[in-house]
Amino acid sequence: MDDSVHSRTRAQAAPGTQTLNFTLNGEPRTLEVAPNAVLLDVLREQIGLGGTKKGCDHGQCGACTVHVDGQSMNSCLRLAVMCEGQHVTTVEGLARDGELHPIQQNFLECDAYQCGYCTPGQMMSATALLNDERVGTDDASVKEAMSGNICRCGAYKNIVEAIQKSRQQLSYDATQKEGTA
């Protein structure tokens, strides 16, 4: 089989791994990763955190959204080795001491999902925008800031509602900022 075809159909083992030191959901981590492994695959397959979803794998759907140093990013388009020294937060890092993050509670209460596949990515973008004072607080600004997260079930209306409800409930003091960053 032609090499180029082969590489498109099956992940190859990379020649040699590199050591990655980063903080994942508040815990320091050290692991060996292949240089061509994206953060999404390392999270799901190497570390075993399956909350972050693989949708398009090309930065178009937002299902893989995580926070890197507090900013929302597509983990499918970021090499894991590029996260050296950084703080990564996944959906598994939202709840604290067994208590759901307000955005999680409000997604439940507002019925802001149907199949649930895009939900982790939606919640990661939602928590990032609630912490970003550069984003407007009206519904139109929220929709624009959330447009990188596709929901094929079409739960958008309830997602916006869950975000706005969370905004009302949360007073973003410094402690909470630390908690979700």
Kindly tell me which of 96 and 172 has the beta carbon lying closer to another protein.
172
* Ranges within 143-172 binding another protein (CB under 8 A): 143-149
Q: With binding defined as CB under 8 A, does residue 131 bind another protein?
A: no
Token duo for residue 28 = 């320091």
Closest CA to 78 of 51, 59, 52: 59
Cα Rg of the chain, angstroms: 17
Q: Are 137 and 126 in contact (CB under 8 A)?
A: no
Q: Edge to edge, what strands does the sheet with 18-24 contain?
A: 27-33, 18-24, 87-89, 65-68, 71-74
Q: Could you say whether residue 136 binds another protein (CB under 8 A)?
A: no
Least Å from the CB of residue 127 to another protein: 12
User: Would you count residue 137 as binding another protein (CB under 8 A)?
Assistant: no
Residue number with CB closer to another protein (12 or 21): 12
Binding of another protein by 90 (CB under 8 A):
no
Options 1, 8, 97, 174; binder of another protein; rule CB under 8 A? 8
Place of tokens 């993050």: 101
